[in-house]
Amino acid sequence: MIRLLLCGVFWAITASSWAQNPKTYIPKNAYALLPIFYTETARLMPTIPEPAYFGALAEQESCIHLTHKRCMSPTSRLLTQREDGQGLFQVTRAYRADGSIRFDTLAEMRKRYYSELKELSWTNVAKRPDLQIRTAILMIRENYIRFSGVKGEPRLQMADAAYNGGVGGTLKEQLACGLAKGCDPQQWFNHVERYCLKSKKKLYGDRSACDINREHPATLFKIRLGKYQRHYAQWKATQTGEHP
């Protein structure tokens, strides 16, 4: 599923600009939601290599900075003349210049997964974090299936890059890597990552569509994910009675 790169633009903040350490600080709003993340992930993506991934993804998508009141909040919103991204994962509808709908991710997902998302609408999305979480898991699951030839965490990394910049483009980049000497199409970091086919034209400051897309998995997996892995291990221990 193709999502606008713009959805990541306004939330992409470098680690050095946060008052809190992004490798250790979990936003306050997250704690009430994380058990839902974990139980829904176990139900819908039981074989995911990183069960804590969706906490990091929500932080990536919803946080201007880690102590912002809408960081990790279902009411987070990015609204412009051309798009409306809402919630923990910035589920988006986009408009053409004449005001007609260019795409509507919520409507598309509700249609494809009606039994899971039949209660979801644009009028209630901000009040239903459970359905926001479910939608994001189903979207990533679709991407994850498309990269079935890749094993382990790199498969999820490619699914993440596709969540931000589109499955088709990421598959083309994987193919370009496979045709290049010394590039392993089964690995994201330092391999497929280096073969960006997206625009290099500067869009925001000195950042291009390619920069924004590559920043997404790099920040998520190398900076954000570790703290959620630790929280997940602690949560899992409370469910099983074992020490993490």
Would you give per-residue pLDDT tens digits along the chain (244 residues)? 344 344 444 444 444 445 799 999 999 999 999 999 999 999 999 999 999 999 999 999 999 999 999 999 999 999 988 999 999 999 999 999 998 999 999 999 999 999 999 999 999 999 999 999 999 999 999 999 999 999 999 999 999 999 999 999 999 999 999 999 999 999 999 999 999 999 999 877 788 999 999 999 999 999 999 999 999 999 999 997 776 5
Residue pair 5/166 in contact (Cβ under 8 Å)? The answer is no
Helix (H) and strand (E) counts in the chain = 10, 6
Number of residues that make up the chain:
244
For residue 208, the SS3 value is strand
Strand locations in the chain (E)? 77-79, 83-86, 91-95, 101-104, 202-204, 207-208
Give the domain ranges of the chain: 6-236
**Structure tokens that stand for 121 in this block:** 């609408």
Residue pair 188/222 in contact (Cβ under 8 Å)? The answer is no
Class of domain 6-236: mainly alpha
